[in-house]
């Protein structure tokens, strides 16, 4: 369902000499409720998974990426279909509710799901237990990359990401994540008001196009790097993360634990390596 990702609003623009009423563009933000359907076809059950505040667009990729990075699903092969929910023929909440149908033969443990969300979501309970829990649910093993990333490529990636942010040019209110090859070629870019949503959309796209795990790929973040972003990257097999902003202490600890090269404060002529400096040449 096509929905606008920006909205026009009236604002009062203040300058030294005058105040004026003008039109401005802001990033759209709406709730997306994700549900899953599971069980035998003649006795389906439904579980409400989450309500995600997001920028409309790429909703199916967002839901898919979210379920994979939270350890609910291992791959697209677990899915029967994804669709917006309907109520008497009308799409609920103008396309803000969707249901992911799991294959009937898939064994689904609701209690395990609840534990995973407690351990791995950004709920303020992050720590060593959260890091340890990732090892038990990640479907991939991140190994040492076969090729190193050059510092010259690193210097140029933030500007490449910024150039591709068409919506950011209008609103200034969206985070972006970009997936690049080691030679600096852009593969995909996703935007959202939430940086973790943008990453879920990117990982959902990779899952739909059968590109997981994302080995020998570089993730570029338009802002800082948090534990949640490292978690989601690990669950998709990413080996290189470049952030324009700073990392958190838990982000650094997690990157070191799972052999991810983490770079921050990236500028045109400098950057900081927080984990796996030997991955850069």
Residues 264-273, mean pLDDT to the nearest whole number: 92
Residue 166 has a pLDDT of: 66
Once rounded to an integer, what is the mean pLDDT over residues 205-212?
95
Residue 221: its pLDDT value, please?
96
Most confident segment among 12-21, 68-77, 118-127, 221-230: 221-230
277: DSSP letter: G
| pLDDT, mean of residues 111-130 | 47
Distance of CA 206 to the CA centre of its chain: 11
CA angle 130, 133, 137 (to 5 degrees): 135
β-pair partners for 180: 186, 218
Residue 198 exposed, middle or buried by CB count within 10 Å (0-12, 13-18, 19+): buried
**Per-residue model confidence as pLDDT tens digits over 9-44:** 777 677 678 878 888 777 778 889 999 999 888 889
pLDDT digits (tens, 9 = 90+) for 138-174: 777 777 888 999 999 999 999 999 988 866 666 667 8
Distance CA 277, CA 154 (A): 13
User: Tokens in use for 16?
Assistant: 């030294």
Kindly report, as residue ranges, where domains of CATH 3.40.140.10 are found in the chain: 151-279
Residue 255 has pLDDT above 80, yes or no: yes
Homologous superfamily of 151-279: Cytidine Deaminase, domain 2 (3.40.140.10)
Q: Is 126 a catalytic residue?
A: no
How confident is the model at residue 118, as a pLDDT? 38
CA 171 to chain CA mean position, Å: 20
Please give the pLDDT value at position 219.
Answer: 98
What are the backbone angles phi and psi of residue 226, rounded to the nearest 5°? -115, 170
Instruction: Choose, from 123, 126, 138, 261, the residue flagged as catalytic.
Output: 123
**How far is C-alpha 244 from the geometric centre of its chain's CA atoms?**
16
Q: 200: Cβ–Cβ under 8 A, 6 or more apart, which residues?
A: 61, 62, 65, 66, 69, 232
**pLDDT over 60 (residue 97):** yes
Cβ contact 221:232 at 8 Å: no
- In angstroms, the CA 117 to CA 101 distance is 19
Residue 4, exposed/middle/buried by CB under 10 A (0-12, 13-18, 19+)?
exposed
Cα 137 to Cα 164: distance, rounded to the nearest angstrom? 34
């Amino acid at each position: 369902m096509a929905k606008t990702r920006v909205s026009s609003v009236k604002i009062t623009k203040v300058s030294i000499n005058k105040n004026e009423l003008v039109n401005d563009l802001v990033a759209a933000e709406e709730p997306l409720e994700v549900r899953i359907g599971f069980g035998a076809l003649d006795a389906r059950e439904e579980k409400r998974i989450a309500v995600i505040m997001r920028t409309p667009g790429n909703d199916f990729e967002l839901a898919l990426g979210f379920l994979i990075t939270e350890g609910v699903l291992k791959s697209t092969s677990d899915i029967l279909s994804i669709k917006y929910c309907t109520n008497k023929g009308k799409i609920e909440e103008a396309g803000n509710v969707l249901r992911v149908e799991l294959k009937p033969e898939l064994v689904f443990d609701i209690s395990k799901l609840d534990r995973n969300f407690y351990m791995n979501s950004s709920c303020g309970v992050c720590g060593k237990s959260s890091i340890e829990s990732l090892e038990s649910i990640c479907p991939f093993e991140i190994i040492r990359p076969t090729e190193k990333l050059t510092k010259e490529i690193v210097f140029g990636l933030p500007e490449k990401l910024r150039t591709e942010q068409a919506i950011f040019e209008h609103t200034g209110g969206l985070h972006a994540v970009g997936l690049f090859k080691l030679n600096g070629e852009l593969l995909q870019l996703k935007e959202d008001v939430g940086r973790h949503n943008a990453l879920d959309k990117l990982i959902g796209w990779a899952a739909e196009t059968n590109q997981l795990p994302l080995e020998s790929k570089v993730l570029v973040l338009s802002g800082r790097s948090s534990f949640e972003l490292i978690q989601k990257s690990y669950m998709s097999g990413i080996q290189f993360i470049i952030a324009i902003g700073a990392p958190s202490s838990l982000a650094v600890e997690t990157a070191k634990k799972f052999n991810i090269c983490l770079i921050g404060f990236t500028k045109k002529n400098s950057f900081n390596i927080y984990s796996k400096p030997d991955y850069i040449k």
